[in-house]
Amino acid sequence: MQTYKKEFAEFLVRADALQFGEFTLKSGRSSPYFFNSSKFNNGPLIEELGSYYAAAIEENAPNCNLIYGPAYKGIPLCLTTAIALSARLKQDIGYFFNRKEKKTHGDQGTLVGQFPLARDCVVMVDDVITDGLTKIESVSLIRELCKIEFSGVLVALDRMEKNSQANDAITEFQQKTGVPVWSIITIRETCDYLKNREIDGSVVLDESTFLKIENYLAEHSVRS
């Protein structure tokens, strides 16, 4: 496993963004883990988060020069990723995001930031893909407004689960849009790395919890 993935797994624990226990998801499904991206809520955390997005983009789309973040969660992500990738590649990396409502005065329009051109290598960043619908809408919006194609979509954590229609949301998204999806890390990679590992003096994922997640994924996962 790449070093940035290992560091990211530990970062998720330290930021309390990945929690283990018993959680009821929005779908009503009972899960032995919970990923909460709203925990990245201060300067140092969002700065470090951007470094992991940048590392994953460099691996998957090394020619990327523009980052898009769908409103609202994608807005801070595209900013911190553009900053981190600019420093990492020592070149200017642009960013842009959409408004939920079109502005009709001043800085008018739907998009804010660097307007994408056909020659740009554009990557969308977001936290997760749940049903894929908002990402599909984003791809359609940018295609209509800018006449460009995304090189890929990068999410923080691939939960590898079926959506409410018992389908793989990521596979459906890729089939409908033709845009590849990458993740900084998958839940299986995360658990394999964290199993019985001490983080700051304590084990957050013991054998018992690891087995609960394995059983959960055996029932709800769509990919091995």
For residue 105, the model assigns a pLDDT of 46
Position 203 pLDDT exceeds 80: yes
From 26, 90, 100, 105, active-site residue: 105
Position 152 pLDDT exceeds 90: yes
For residue 150, the model assigns a pLDDT of 97
Q: What is the pLDDT of residues 92-122, one digit of tens each?
A: 999 999 987 765 544 557 899 999 999 999 9
The DSSP annotation for the chain comes to: --HHHHHHHHHHHHTT-EEEEEEE-TTS-EEEEEE-GGG--SHHHHHHHHHHHHHHHHHH-TT--EEEE-TTTHHHHHHHHHHHHHHHHTS--EEEEEEEEEE-SSS-EEEEESPP-TT--EEEEES--SSSHHHHHHHHHHHHHH---EEEEEEEEE--BB-TTSSBHHHHHHHHH---EEEEEEHHHHHHHHTT-EETTEESS-HHHHHHHHHHHHHHBS--
From 90, 100, 103, 220, active-site residue: 103
For residue 107, the model assigns a pLDDT of 54
Please compute the mean of the pLDDT values over residues 137-162 and round it to a whole number. 94
Question: pLDDT above 70 covers what percent of the chain?
Answer: 96
Position 185 pLDDT exceeds 90: yes
Q: Would residue 103 show up in a list of annotated catalytic residues for this protein? A: yes
Could you give the domains of the chain? 3-220 (3.40.50.2020)
Position 49 pLDDT exceeds 80: yes
Please compute the mean of the pLDDT values over residues 75-104 and round it to a whole number. 91
For residue 104, the model assigns a pLDDT of 54
Q: Would residue 105 show up in a list of annotated catalytic residues for this protein? A: yes
Residue 23 binned pLDDT confidence (cut-offs 50, 70, 90): very high
